[in-house]
Amino acid sequence: MNFLDDIFQRLAQRPDRPVLQEARDGKIIPVTGGELLAQIQMARKFFREAELKKGDRCALLAPNSIRWTAVDLALMSEGIIVVPLYARQAPRELVGMMKDCTPALICCGDESHLRALKESWPEAPRACLFDEVFSAPSPPHAGESAPVAPVDEDPITIIYTSGTSGEAKGVVLNVANVTFMLSCTNARLDLLRGERRVPDRVFHYLPTCFAGSWILLLTCLTRNSVLTLSTDLTKLADELRLAAPDYFLNVPAVLERFRAGIEEQVRKIGGAAQALFGLGKAAWSRRIANEAGPLEDIALVLARALVFRPIRKKIGPNLRALICGSAPLAKETQLFFMMLGLPVLQVYGLTETTAICTMDDPECVVPGKVGPAIPGIEMKLGPENEILVRGPNVFPGYWNRPAETANTFLDGWFRTGDQGEVDHEGNWSIIGRVKNLIVAASGHNIAPEPIEEMLLHALPDARQVMLVGNGRAHLAALVTGDVTRAQVEAACEKMNAQLPHYRRVHAFHLSKEPFTIENGMLTANGKLRRDAIATRFRQEIEALYQKAS
């Protein structure tokens, strides 16, 4: 049974039970398995009448919603290749992706998306709105409930990569990729779930157009879960309280903001609570370092009972764990949430690996690691400590790019572009990106990401840090956010004392304006576009090195 058959079967078995819901305007709007099936059948009828056929591409441009899910499942069940697009991405970039995949239809969530598309691409192919797709309900005809029989090799989606250093490429994923991956994610979540028989409550705020986010959505539809979709990121805390989930997927930047917010609230409260929080935090650090004595144990017990547990309950009264992916999470942040009693389970993977290669085992989390390779997937280190992957999760290729597809494989192994380390127990660490390596004038190869994380951790008010220094005598940094020169100087001095000479930061440039998706400095999923940033700040970077010479 493939994943589509599984989802349709499970929806049919839960006709009166909620399976998906939206947090909207302070309320929960649910849809049952039967209602979602009816929406899917309505959408399938629309796409058939639009004369879409198996193998056609349909671009899907809309934020998360129940309707988005219904359209996605309807298209896949008709054998149409879904091209999910990020609604906040620059129109010119979206147009470039659509010109690449040549969709037969573009399906937009609302009029604003459609209007922006037509302004940027007057000759765009035919487009429709969700309102049109769901405007004419009618009873499904016999035989429409099952998906069009797909085979494992059938492509079902083209997900465009973030394009950190160049043009985005369309990653083709097929039925076999997703079916395998959902079996893996279900197995890991079963470990987290334990013997519970009630449905898992899951909260979701990340855009489902991204591979990892989409895999979680599909996973929830293949198990006993109720998934709540966020519809307003400005009300994330309120929606989280409303959903009261058992777990939810995060990116490191959000967990860093959660952590900073908690520490700021403790400072504002002050008094005994702040003092006990500080004592408990110090005791936790000594325990992690295996240096805790009886006094630290007592401080930690008191802090957990009087401070840490109430903070955890405020984040989410039912939370069993936080899941984190997309980029490496700072070890200090993972330990911070563990201190509060919230394990953080890390996931590592790329779109080309159907989002996942490794997942933390809930019963054996190693802070700072992203877990072992999931069963059925092989991983090893190649030249320059690049992580190589082989298994049923690896994509068949990029859309219409055979040369680039060939170049991303080495003797049958997918080249991730990530540098890694693996310990004797098989737990992986992500060090940085091979392409991001800075080769200093001294010849030292320097991965910028760990140093950037250290500096960000030391500067709570900074938004981003990017290192430069390829071919230079020393490293320099671009720092964005509301920070002062004195703060950065102090942070660099403290950090440099812990680093070898060739990894020290000797100069920096401050920018109040952060790097954003809108100004072209970040990818759609929030990663630094290093080449674009270096080009934009070329003069400022040159000035840093002229001062030092």
Which of 416, 434, 452 is where one domain is finished?
Answer: 434
Of 394, 413, 468, 482, the C-alpha closest to 437 is: 468
Write out pLDDT tens, residues 156-180. Answer: 999 998 665 557 899 999 999 999 9
Mark which of 434, 463, 480 sits at the end of a domain: 434
Tell me if 267 is assigned to some domain: yes
> Is-contact 48 74, C-beta < 8 A?
no
Give per-residue pLDDT as tens, 368-394: 999 999 999 999 999 989 999 999 999
**How many domains in the chain?**
3
Residue 247 resides in a domain: no
Residues 150, 164: one domain? yes
Do residue 100 and residue 167 come from a single domain?
yes
- Model pLDDT for residues 351-372, shown as the tens digit of each residue: 999 999 999 998 889 999 999 9
Query: For position 166, what pLDDT does the model report?
Result: 57
How far is 337 from 351, CA to CA, in rounded Å?
27
Exposure of 387 by Cβ count < 10 A (0-12 exposed, 13-18 middle, 19+ buried)?
buried
pTM: 0.86
What confidence tens digit (pLDDT) does each residue in 308-338 have? 999 999 988 999 999 998 877 888 899 999 9
Do residue 225 and residue 288 come from a single domain? Answer: no
Residues 445 and 333 in one domain: no
CA distance 444 to 71: 51
64 is a domain residue: yes
Task: Give the contacts of 509 (CB within 8 A, at least 6 positions apart).
Answer: 476, 477, 478, 479, 537, 540, 541, 543, 544
Q: Phi then psi for 111, rounded to 5 degrees?
A: -65, -35
Same domain, 430 and 497: no
Domain with residue 366: its CATH number is 3.40.50.12780
Average pLDDT of the residues in 207-215: 94
Residues 382 and 494 in one domain: no
Q: What is the mean pLDDT of residues 105-130?
A: 92
The mean pLDDT of 284-305, rounded to a whole number, is: 90
Q: Does 192 reside within a domain? A: no
The maximal CA–CA distance of the chain, rounded, in angstroms, is 78
pLDDT tens digits, 67-110: 999 999 999 999 999 999 998 888 888 999 999 999 999 999 99
User: In terms of domains, do 71 and 108 share one?
Assistant: yes
144 has a pLDDT exceeding 60: no
Cα separation, 496 vs 543, in Å, equals 22
**Same-domain status, 303 and 426:** yes
Residues 458 and 388 in one domain: no
pLDDT in tens, 402-444: 999 999 999 999 999 999 999 999 999 998 888 888 888 777 8
Residue span of the structural domain in which 324 resides: 252-317+319-434
pLDDT tens figures, 21-35: 999 989 999 999 999
- Residue 143: the pLDDT is 44
Task: Report the half-sphere exposure of 330 (CA within 13 A, side-chain side).
Answer: 21
Residue 20 forms part of a structural domain: yes
List, as own/partner pairs, every contact residues 309-316 make where C-beta atoms lie below 8 angstroms and the sequence separation is at least 24, other chains included.
309/341, 311/262, 311/340, 312/340, 312/341, 312/342, 315/240, 315/258, 315/340, 315/342, 316/240, 316/241, 316/244, 316/245
Same structural domain for residues 449 and 521?
yes
Q: Would you say residue 191 lies in a domain?
A: no
Q: What is the mean pLDDT of residues 35-54?
A: 94
Q: What is the CATH number of the domain that holds 461?
A: 3.30.300.30
Confidence of residue 208 (pLDDT cuts 50, 70, 90): very high
Residue 226 and residue 288 share a domain: no
CA distances to 244, 348, 371, 407 from 324, rounded to whole Å, are: 18, 9, 12, 30
Could you tell me if 256 and 215 lie in one domain? no
